[in-house]
Amino acid sequence: MSDLNPNELSPGIRRTVMMLRKAGFKTTDSGDGKSNEGMGCEMDTPNVHMVCDPPELILVTDELHRLLALHGLDTGSDPEVGPFIQATYNPADGVAVVSLFGVDDDALFGGP
């Protein structure tokens, strides 16, 4: 996994991304849902996207769910209510992505 300068991350998601990377997740994109304005790809909810090998998609998703549970977060099935995990695979390009929505530094660590 390549080095990442934490200062290049949105401030409200920085610690979350670094914790996920330390846990072995291959993060590729993120945003805190607040400070991305003007980037052209901003989302209005905190988000972190991770890639994995396609055969490991379920394993990686389950591991993320367990990690969040250790931090007291319950990932439900409704992204409007709370933390939400989504896994996708595109056979056309062989890319598997695990996306986490609704979790930021406040949710995981109680603030900055």
Q: Write down the pTM of the prediction.
A: 0.87
Task: Give the pLDDT score at 56.
Answer: 97
Q: Is residue 65 part of a domain?
A: yes
pLDDT, tens digit, 9 for 90 and up, residues 44-97: 889 999 999 999 999 999 999 999 999 988 877 666 667 899 999 999 999 999
What strand order describes the sheet that includes 84-90? 26-31, 47-52, 95-101, 84-90
Q: Is residue 88 part of a domain?
A: yes
Q: How many domains does the chain have?
A: 1
Task: Give the pLDDT score at 2.
Answer: 63
Q: Is residue 78 part of a domain?
A: yes
Q: Is residue 52 part of a domain?
A: yes
DSSP tag of 38: T
Task: Give the pLDDT score at 40.
Answer: 52
Q: Is residue 26 part of a domain?
A: yes
pLDDT, tens digit, 9 for 90 and up, residues 9-26: 889 999 999 999 999 999
Q: Is residue 1 part of a domain?
A: no
DSSP letters for 51-99: EE-GGGHHHHHHHHHHHHHHTT----S-TTTS-EEEEEEETTTTEEEEE
Range of the domain at 50: 6-109
